Structure 1
């Protein structure tokens, strides 16, 4: 996958995105329905959670078939392929790599024949932190780990290596030993399973179809297939769905720590998490941002699309008119056509361009969701000034991102995070804004309507709810790429926290 020459940031280069969630997962048990197509549309609704690979596993009761490839959901699957995936039970996955590189081998669902003669397919959203320990357990069972280049593959191998147990019983034994953030959907020939770690860091919801059940990363994926939202899969819960109905088991005591960044950026605005609509939460953040960081201006504009709800809230609370100042090219995404050097130098104009008539001669409030490296905001400020803006005041609907994520979001390293080495005024000068304001962590938390004690806010405050092992143990025998980076970042984190 093209990544460019490295001179543009993830935010500027269309081939190098900003903060990415690990994955989106979907599962359906529904005799009489075209489960492959239901899964396809569910993954389509979750495309924002991963754009590198997609896959679907299907069973008709006698065997599990998996089809997966690199690319967007609509690129991987077509009508003939979906028609060939026949059954009444399916799981699906759309991937952005966190552990393991972006290769076909690391695409999901993973699949493994069990020692009892059946097959397990598994899809994972999140990131595990005890992969070295898991690899040792796999080796101790006499299995070859050379083909396991992701934490998901290790989990699948552990579940499959218990000949004297059902998959459900094996899961209740294996899941308590896994450390980190995970929302799993998995299956054998007859049963759909879903499980969520004890902290519930990554979202997972249960829905009801007329003739079956659905599980998905977000409620928006339930909506698209016509499923009714039943509830969230609880932290520490294992669900099993088959011809006998739905069963629930507990494998860990729940200690909820849902990801705060889902409310800021990751989740679709039409999704609901812990009873809170994401769009409503983002508008409320904008209102609170206006009260914390008021300014005299003529127009509030969003950085589309992620900054739009907060910009609407900011305009409502401030009384400053809301309008469009930037237009977005909706078709910039994953492509294998490298831009020319001239186009690359234009950077963000591949994605955004100013509406000159709207911004000329005006004092602008520009609302965005986050500042990670600062290159996006720097380019936007410069672009708006060139278009004739008199003043550019930047407002951010999240606190400064100060710490890396080990639970399923691919942030920049600490060295790349602009807030690591600069205070607010230093960041303002760096991006060239007339003023800069971040919403406070307390106000962002309040907008979610969740108590701070039930949220993971580690990327903002450095407090990690799931204990991290020693840096040189994360992924040591198996996971080389991103896990090594995570280990390095953890060392930086500990060093920085102690100084």
Structure 2
């Protein structure tokens, strides 16, 4: 089995996207539209839960939003004016319907549904303690830990039980929860994972990215602040709470490098503009003597435009991406496996032949993708192939809701720059510096001071404790089964 996203297989992947609506007729249809806009954040499974004032309704399925939630019979079942949804991309471990979110449980106080983007870095320890106390888990997801902590809390009100639960977890989370009383949206105290708020008439909407608000015609109001909990009651009454100790914000820097759609606004900055600024800074720091600037589609396009504009070298689409290929391709042998790569991306041979090209990509993870791209350029007749990367070397794994290989499999963790260049067989290789990345993030005139973001994948500076990682607790039947679900 060969995925037909051969250039995407070696990318860091944001594991989830979430979307919630409170106070709108046909809430499920709006959530489905919002999830379409967030499909890039999770392509393995999707789910929607609604509440109609009497009962909760849930539909979850493997696969994309399209094909599952574009069916009238499904949407008609999901009645109610309050709804939340989730798109999921898992890492290792079990891929199963029981892990698809929103997760739902009947608590003493009534129904409780939760959609989670992020990763709880002490979930294994919490899970072991909860199981020893009698909790029975139905999934291998770290998100379910939150539900059990709420259920077992000794506080009286649901909100207090929820706050008590979150005070016990470490790591990153943006959450949209539904109860009989209304909707709760909250973000971890460091704001590592994104969450924004908007309005559509009288309805309140929460989403991982502003592009999802755009798709449903909602007005972007603001980002949910780090450590903030917003409660929207039935009837529309809204209140903001900050029950956690305040910290300096550390949003994930990779949202601007790769994760977010370029037409989103992240922390009041245009993602597209930041990526162009990254490309321009890269051209200043690591110019290349080349005839053409070529992006690795699609994520490398804005940075390549910035590189081209700064360097004066022409921007061209030297790699053409097909958007009409299915997810998998059955191949009987290595020869067909190699040909399958070209189903998704193909060199623009007439443009490249005899040219010195500089390729712009967002990152190098294992290096296998970069090697394929360089080989593709050489097979198309490129005279020279130079690679420029719009992020610093990825030397450390992420434990905050991003699918990252173990550190030993990260090319930059085991190779120096020259060894990396030799591995991908490029004529030259350079990355933007961490200082250059911060400078590009301040291209709107507001200086960015390190470490104003979570940049641990580049620097190893993790902003929270990593209990499970530090303890290296052995997995057993009571432990989290190698799964970190966004």
Show the counterpart of 1:195. 186
Matched, 1:398 2:391: yes
Distance 1:214 1:220, change over 3 A: same
Matched, 1:12 2:3: no
- Give how far 1:478 is off: 2.5
1:254-403 alignment runs, 5 A limit:
254-255=246-247, 256-332=249-325, 334-335=327-328, 337-341=329-333, 342-346=335-339, 348-403=341-396
Show the counterpart of 1:427. 420
SS at match of 2:145: helix
SS at match of 1:158: helix
SS at match of 1:76: coil
- Give how far 1:141 is off: 5.4
Aligned match for 2:203, one of 201, 204, 212: 212
State the Cα deviation string for residues 184-236 of structure 1 (Å, max 9, x = none).
10101240111111111000001111021000001111111111111111111
Q: TM-score, normalised by structure 2?
A: 0.93
SS at match of 1:208: strand
- Give how far 1:467 is off: 0.8
Distance 1:333 1:464, change over 3 A: farther
**Greater Cα shift, 38-47 or 439-448:** 439-448
Show the counterpart of 2:175. 184
Show the counterpart of 2:445. none
**Distance between the aligned counterparts of 1:71 and 1:286, measured in 2?**
34
Distance 1:254 1:160, change over 3 A: same
The alignment yields a C-alpha RMSD, in angstroms, of 2.0
Structure 1 unaligned segments of length 5 or more: list them: 5-9, 486-499
Aligned match for 1:468, one of 462, 466, 469: 466
**Distance between the aligned counterparts of 2:308 and 2:302, measured in 1?**
10
Show the counterpart of 1:228. 219
1:304 and 1:327 in contact (8 A); partners too:
yes
**Distance between the aligned counterparts of 1:137 and 1:194, measured in 2?**
27
Show the counterpart of 1:411. 404
State the Cα deviation string for residues 350-400 of structure 1 (Å, max 9, x = none).
321011111111111111111111111111111111111111111110111
Show the counterpart of 2:230. 239
2:192 and 2:250 in contact (8 A); partners too:
yes
Distance 1:11 1:224, change over 3 A: closer
**Distance between the aligned counterparts of 1:13 and 1:296, measured in 2?**
25
**Distance between the aligned counterparts of 1:356 and 1:126, measured in 2?**
41
**Distance between the aligned counterparts of 2:26 and 2:122, measured in 1?**
37
Show the counterpart of 1:492. none
Show the counterpart of 2:97. 104
**Distance between the aligned counterparts of 2:203 and 2:425, measured in 1?**
55
- Give how far 1:332 is off: 3.5
Show the counterpart of 1:451. 449
**Distance between the aligned counterparts of 2:92 and 2:203, measured in 1?**
33
Matched, 1:121 2:122: no
2:371 and 2:423 in contact (8 A); partners too:
yes
Distance 1:163 1:320, change over 3 A: same
State the Cα deviation string for residues 55-102 of structure 1 (Å, max 9, x = none).
000001111111101111112221210122110000000001147521
Show the counterpart of 2:62. 70
SS at match of 2:360: strand
Show the counterpart of 1:497. none
2:140 and 2:483 in contact (8 A); partners too:
no
1:28 and 1:91 in contact (8 A); partners too:
yes
**Distance between the aligned counterparts of 1:277 and 1:259, measured in 2?**
15
